[in-house]
Amino acid sequence: MNLTASSIESTSVSDAAPSTFRKVISNQQFVGRPLITSTIAVIAAALLLIGIILCAAGVTELLTLRMLAEDRGLLPTAEGLADGPVNRILIHLILAIPLLHESGSTLTFLFGGAAALLVLRGILRGYAQTRISHHVAAAVKRLREHIHRHALRSNPGDLAGVQHRASASLFRQTAQTLEDSSRAWGFRQLTSTCDIVVLVILLLATQWRVGLECVVPVIVCWFVYRLETERHETSSSLLAEQMERGVQKLTDDLDKAQIVAGYGMENLEHEQFSSSLHLYQQRREHLHRQLLRGRWVSLVIVIVSVTVPGFLIARHLLFGSAIGPAAAVTLTTLVVLITLSLQRMQEVPVLAGTAIVAADEINQFLLRVPSVSQVVGAKFLEPMSRSLQFNQVSVETETHPELISNLDLKFESGQRVAILALDTHEAEALVSLIPRFRDPQHGQVLIDGQDIRRVTLESLRAEAVTVGGQEPVFSATVLENITAGQSEISRQDAIEASKSVHAESFIRQLPKGYETPLGEHGVLLEPGQVFRLSLARAVARKPALLVIQEPEATLDEETKAMLDDAYQRICNGRTVLFLPSRLSTVKKCSRLVLIHQGRVAADGTHEELMRSSELYRHWEYMRFNVFR
């Protein structure tokens, strides 16, 4: 199954409508495009046909061997075959091969050939399944690339992690469901369809009148079985939902213990509970009876689909002259195989529905417009030289409808400021507006009086760099972690940045220095080392505005001392905003801004706020007091 690989390659993500994903699992896109896979499936079905003929001939030979005084191989069988295209071909084939004129060599030839053909058929079907899996995996891989790229564009301002969890679920579970369902759909649809077509052709070619009599009840029973299964599943799901609501009501009644005891309502509550429990029990018994009835109906349909063709073949064999033993064995085998193929086809619509749901879910995610985009005609942002201003800014998130509300705030260039909040999401939301990881619902963020939504994202994020407290390490070398793949940052720039934040001290101790691999398959760093590496990555870009969120992990005294010295170095000549986790960092900032309930609640130095702000004293106690 090609999974419309060409469609995914030639269609942009924004144009990927649900109809495009439905074509992923459509017959036209699958059967028509991968010609090699379809040809293999047809050849495998043809091998099944030949194998059936050989097996039927072998069984017939065994049945007639003891009845003949003369060992003539398959010649009596050929002479006794009813008239028909397949029979005439067999007669000429048997007469043309001397090996088939003796019973011993004939049986060896027939059963050995049938076994070889069936083994070859299995190999071809396995190859077809491998090709289908390759096409599906390649297309789903491209979808996963689209999901990853779109998630990186859409999720940088995801404070609560809602979008991250959604995209991760799509990447892992939904894409895997699409891949598994599409692979199974493709294999069953293609191979079962080819098998059914070939089996029906052989059935009609053997003896078309008897073949029609046998295949019609099989097809009718299959349609009835399919309709009954769909009706049964729909009814059972409704009953199961009602039962779930009943159980929920019964368990909710247990929460009323206090009010029932307080008002002496035990008898009334017990009567209502007994009535609800009786209704629940009735529904449960109804569901059980329906499940049992569905099993019996399905069993009857299967029995009818087997016994009716069997009865017809036996009647013609015993009381008519239309077929002989060879034709009877062949027809019986074909009817059984057609029934099994139809049962495999039964799951095709279910697999298609599952794949469509998964594909549409991915499609809806890819069609979601990122909250942050660059306007046409955006200007290049010069390094900040005067001020950073928040003008009537409001921020809403999925979990906090009024996280920041009409906030006004201004920072002068060169200041060293700590952004504080009882709810850390407020401080994180405020600083995430600066590099435009998210945009405010209302208001403006101005750098040197210029609205940052009017400048290019590249120039903005080059001049306003954020260092997260929980930033991960990339699976790359130390040098690549610092340069982040930017060729304009030289090795010497990375070394100078590492020295300025005291990352050089531990980098030189690594096995290969700056070429040491990090991450899952490399060296694992301690939290303090990871944070200093993140600082080096930011400092190497020489930004005019730096936002530093300190890690919550406990650091040793040596690391704390190195960070204090590093801050003193990197704060010179630039504006630095801290989201601190250490009291020493708070005290060394020239200005503290405390945000509470979306607004500025206190603004000043540490000493001033300790004297004038009860809310700041509460914040300091909750964060740093040993008795908190």
Q: Which sequence spans correspond to the domains of the chain? A: 1-206+347-370, 208-322, 387-624
DSSP for 7-24, written as a single string: HHHHS-GGG--HHHHHGG
Mean pLDDT, 10 residues at a time, the chain of 628 residues: 36 40 45 65 82 72 53 52 57 62 63 84 86 82 85 73 80 88 84 85 80 85 82 77 75 69 75 78 79 82 84 81 73 83 82 83 82 86 93 87 91 94 92 91 93 93 90 89 88 93 92 89 88 93 94 89 92 93 93 94 93 93 81
The residue among 352, 68, 28 whose CA lies nearest residue 182 is: 352
- 312 CB contacts (<8 Å, ≥6 apart)? 210, 213, 214
| H or E element that contains 408 | strand 404-412
User: Residue 426: what pLDDT?
Assistant: 92
User: Residue 274: what pLDDT?
Assistant: 81
Q: C-alpha dihedral over 404, 406, 407, 413, to 10 degrees?
A: 120
Furthest-apart CA atoms within the chain: distance in Å:
121
- 175 CB contacts (<8 Å, ≥6 apart)? 140, 143, 144, 147, 358, 362
Provide, for the chain, the percentages of residues in helix, strand and coil under a 3-state DSSP scheme, each rounded to the nearest 5. Answer: 65, 10, 25
User: Residue 345: what pLDDT?
Assistant: 83
User: Residue 404: what pLDDT?
Assistant: 92
DSSP for 544-576, written as a single string: SEEEEE--SS---HHHHHHHHHHHHHHTTTSEE
Structure tokens at 8: 């995914």
Phi, psi (rounded to 5 degrees) for 372: -120, 130
User: Residue 78: what pLDDT?
Assistant: 53
Rama region for 613: left / alpha / beta (φ>0; ψ in -120 to 50; rest) = beta
User: Residue 26: what pLDDT?
Assistant: 45
DSSP for 310-340, written as a single string: HHHHHHHHHH-SS--HHHHHHHHHHHHHHHH
Read off the amino acid at residue 32: G
| CATH architecture assigned to 387-624 | 3-Layer(aba) Sandwich (3.40)
Structure tokens at 70: 């003369």
Distance, CA of 230 to CA of 236 (rounded, Å): 10
Counting every residue written for the chain, the total comes to 628
3-class DSSP string for 502-526: CCHHHHCCCCCHHHCEECCCCECCC
